[in-house]
Amino acid sequence: QSALTQPASVSGSPGQSITISCTGTSSDVGGYNYVSWYQQHPGKAPKLMIYDVSNRPSGVPDRFSGSKSGNTASLTISGLQAEDEADYYCSSYTSSSTLYVFGTGTKVTVL
């Protein structure tokens, strides 16, 4: 089971919007509405930001939104803020014996 493909880095200025893509296959991203997104600051544990493609857990700002089209999921951060600078990982449930696959990770830089 290969990792989902994400861009290595994405950057934007404060207040701008950025989108991170997460590309898989019909056996994972395309086959299920079980894509989730995690934010990880250096030295910290990951934090759930989006689950089931587009749902936000309580406490996550509505600046964060998720979507999916075919085998590609996306995380959009609107109104980018300095504290959004972190690594972001997508994850999907899969039909293989490896139940879950994570993305390669994207470093978001706030300029």
Partner 1 sequence: QVQLVESGGGLVKPGGSLRLSCAASGFTFSDYYMSWIRQAPGKGLEWVSDVTISGGTKYYADSVKGRFTISRDNPKNSLYLQMNSLRAEDTAVYYCARRKTGSHAFDIWGQGTMVTVSS
Among the candidate windows 13-21, 68-76, 78-86, 97-105, which touches partner 1 by CB under 8 A?
Answer: 97-105
Rg of the chain in Å (alpha carbons)? 13
Q: Which is nearer to partner 1, 52 or 83 (CB)?
A: 52
Contacts of 10 (CB under 8 A, 6+ apart): 18, 19, 20, 106, 107, 108, 109
Contact letters for partner 1, residues 39-78 (x by CB under 8 A): ------xxxx--xx----x---------------------
Helix (H, G, I), strand (E, B) or coil at 83: helix
Cβ(31)–Cβ(95) below 8 Å:
yes
- Chain positions contacting partner 1, by CB under 8 A: 1, 3, 32, 34, 36, 38, 45-48, 51-52, 57, 89, 91-93, 97-105
